[in-house]
Amino acid sequence: MSIAPIGPISPAGVAGLGAVTPTTAAPAGSSFAASLAGAVDNLQQLQSTSNQLAVQAVTGNLDDIHNATIAATRAQVTLELAATVRNKGVDAFNEIMRMQA
């Protein structure tokens, strides 16, 4: 089983979130949904990689423990980002509901 090396985080933030720019013309609504789905897929991939490296570390099959530590940290930071985005979305929805009342 081959595990892809972990690269640096892009300057724009966590890879996989994708920036919506005027040059990426997509139908309204699908762009955000696609970005969100891509971010969730990226999070799942990071967590899977982190889990695989953790198992290798525990079983003694990992040559460099730094890779496992970096993968776990990337997965944790990405999960925190996803939770923050979700919380902000819920807060915005609640605010809109209060404005309608």
Is residue 37 in a domain? yes
Is residue 9 in a domain? no
Is residue 4 in a domain? no
- For 57-75, the pLDDT digits (tens) are 999 999 999 999 999 999 9
The string of DSSP letters for the chain reads ---PPPPPPBTTBSTTS----TTS---TTHHHHHHHHHHHHHHHHHHHHHHHHHHHHHHT--S-HHHHHHHHHHHHHHHHHHHHHHHHHHHHHHHHHHHH-
Please say if the pLDDT value at position 24 is more than 90.
Answer: no
Q: pTM value?
A: 0.64
Is residue 92 in a domain? yes
Please say if the pLDDT value at position 1 is more than 90.
Answer: no
Work out the mean pLDDT of the chain and round it to a whole number.
80
Total domains present in the chain: 1
pLDDT score at 59? 93
- pLDDT band for 21, please (50, 70, 90 cuts): very low
Is residue 45 in a domain? yes
pLDDT score at 100? 87
Is residue 36 in a domain? yes
Is residue 22 in a domain? no
Is residue 11 in a domain? no
